[in-house]
Structure 1
Amino acid sequence: MRVFLCAALLVALSSVVSIGQKYHGDSWADVKANGKGTLTIVYYEQPGLVFKDNGQMKGVCVDIIADFAKFVQEKYNKTVTVNYAGQESEFSGFLKIAQNTPNILGVTNTSITDERKKIMKFTPPFMTTQLVLLTNQNAPTLTNLKDLPKVFAGFSALVITGSTHVKYAEKIKKQYSPELNITLAPSSESVIKSLSTNNKIFSILDFTEYVGVVRKKLPIKRHDVDLGNAEELGFIMSKSSDWDGLWKEFLTEDYRKGVRYKRIIADNLGSTFLNLVR
């Protein structure tokens, strides 16, 4: 038993070390002291927000981060080099790495919640977005959640592990459909793939994730039901990060009301979505 426990401990420690070796960044204190440094990014890909296209990083988040680096140069005369060091394919893994690795910034459509604030730091919100309920295009149309057990008879819910969407699916189950089976998927990509081929599931995703569905013209439809208040999205950091104060200086309401920000949204998500994604 003692040998087994020691082996398990070594595996856990090696896992932590491997994460630390994969991502390295500079603290803001080091950047100030040296006059320059690296802002290391780990990202979870989302169409329109953060993705790689022909070797180039693109999206709303990418443009905002570029503006942040420019802000630091202009206000503090410090050069910040942005390094997109890696992409994580599973959302829950992305969260853990950003939470546990010093001096990196986690970039995707992470909802800001009180529960997450206990274990990680957030930038101010870079966007506010609604949740949407999606099914295969051949599924019957749902217009009110109270009709879900009847309209979606025999359906199950598929949501992303570690996302706030799990909470919403559980709320729907409790209020409207006690027999609902909720299953988990590692990523939005896997959820969307399942929706494209399975007529008997529904999912809850961010509106920003729906953008990719529309662009690719996938056989998926959105249902006009009220899922509650919009969610604020932010970039994430470990509790030990000292970059959060600088982000509060930069990512203000005035920035998000400005012409530059609106152009970023329109260029990356399309003018159609400008009034829907705040």
Structure 2
Amino acid sequence: MKFLKWTFVLVLSMITGTLLSQSLSGDNYETAKNNGKGTVTFTYVETPGFVYKDQSGKLTGVCVDIMNDFLQYVRTNHGINLNARFLGNGSSFSAMYNGVKNGKNGVFGLGNITVTEARKNEILFSPPFITNFAILVTHSSVPTLESMSEITQKFNGFTAYTAKGTLNEKRINKLKSDYYPDLEISYVNSSPDVLEKILNDKNSFSYLDLAFYLSAVKERKPLQRHKVGDEGSEEFAYIMPQSSDWQPIIEEFFNANGGYKNTTAYKKILVDHLGLSAVKLLDSAAE
């Protein structure tokens, strides 16, 4: 009986691995328009508030709800009934990103995907759907910085944790160059690992993206935000393969009727999944 059980698990794992290794594809816009229907593929990286599973295990979040509005827009304004399928397990940013980069036609990547010039050489972007804040954080026991010039005094002997290859790593290195030449930097694998280090090491600091900071605040984690270190220059967007012809359609959706980000529906999505504190942060950035 145990042999059969493990055989089943092995076969299931092989099937899952095969599915994930296949090139992602979906119907292009022109084909879907001619047929009045089509299928698009969503691949994703789980990100608090943006793409996550609810209590029933269903995927939800800011990215998912906005794409549902996009599918409705295409149905109403272009006469296309689209079926959306989710592929991947959401555990890896690189798997999601490469799945889109190597995909074909109607494939969309969802998550905390920053728009960069380098990535524009590999994939297509939608218009940005949110501005990302990189928030300077420590354990709540650390006194608040009033200016960045205080950092060597108030963060004396601290370790900075970051994940290699991220934009937050670049921020930490710039902070070291500008303010804290003797800073010790320690590398971890991911943003959740960074957060865990900050919560357990009172003599540490780092930058966290908006999603992870807000998730920690909601869970009442002992986290301190140092506003003088906030940065909000990045923007998150959906991504598509370079072969996709959906980019003009999703641009049309974001620009229609005075701009999707100005609608009540969009603001409700932010409040539902990120909370009022996120909306206040975003409003302050626009001032």
TM-score (norm 2): 0.82
Is the 8 Å Cα contact of residues 92 and 186 (structure 1) preserved in structure 2?
A: no
Letter in 2 for 1:239: Q
Instruction: Find the partner of 1:115 among 114, 118, 128.
Output: 118
The change in CA–CA distance for 1:185 and 1:246 in structure 2 (over 3 A counts) is: farther
Deviation at 1:77, TM superposition (A): 0.8
Please name the residue that 1:226 is paired with: 229
Change (3 A) 1:108 1:261: same
Asked if structure 2 preserves the Cα contact closer than 8 Å seen for 1:99 and 1:239, the reply is yes
Secondary structure of the residue that 2:31 maps to in structure 1? helix
* Residue ranges of structure 1 left out of the alignment (5+ in a row): 1-16
Conserved 8 A contact 1:90-1:187: no
Q: Which of 237, 252, 264 pairs up with 2:269?
A: 264
Question: Identity of counterpart residues, as a percentage?
Answer: 34
Matches of 1:36 and 1:185 in 2, distance apart?
45
TM-fit CA distance, 1:112:
1.4
Farther-moved stretch of structure 1 (188-197 vs 140-149): 140-149
Q: Give 1:242 shift.
A: 2.0
Match of 1:235 among 235, 238, 244: 238
Tell me what 1:27 maps to: 28
Give the match for residue 186 of structure 1. 189
Task: Give the conservation status (yes or no) of the 8 Å contact 1:134–1:204.
Answer: yes
> Structure 1 residue 123: deviation in Å?
0.6
Aligned match of 2:81: 79
Q: Give the TM-score normalised by the residue count of structure 1.
A: 0.85
Q: CA deviation at 1:107?
A: 0.8
1 CA distance for matches of 2:247 and 2:196?
A: 35
1:3-55 residue CA offsets vs partner (Å, 9 max, x unmatched): xxxxxxxxxxxxxx975516443322332233222221111112211111122
Say which SS state the counterpart of residue 277 (structure 1) adopts. helix
**In structure 1, C-alpha distance between the alignment counterparts of 2:43 and 2:250, rounded to whole Å:** 17
**Hey, what does 2:138 align to over in structure 1?**
135
**Please, which runs of 5 or more residues in structure 2 have no aligned partner?**
1-17
Determine if the alignment matches structure 1 residue 207 to structure 2 residue 199.
Answer: no
> Which whole-Å CA distance do the structure 1 matches of 2:165 and 2:95 have between them?
9
- The size of the alignment, in residue pairs, is 263
| C-alpha contact (below 8 Å) 1:42/1:104 kept by paired residues | yes
> Where does structure 1 differ by over 6 angstroms across 4 or more consecutive aligned residues?
none
Describe how 1:47-62 pairs up with structure 2 within 5 A. Answer: 47-53=48-54, 54-62=56-64
Are the counterparts in 1 of residues 49 and 215 from structure 2 also a CA contact under 8 Å? yes
Quote the Cα distance in structure 2 between the aligned partners of 1:273 and 1:114. 26
Q: Which AA in structure 2 matches 1:37?
A: G
Partner Cα separation in structure 1 for residue 71 and residue 189 of structure 2: 32
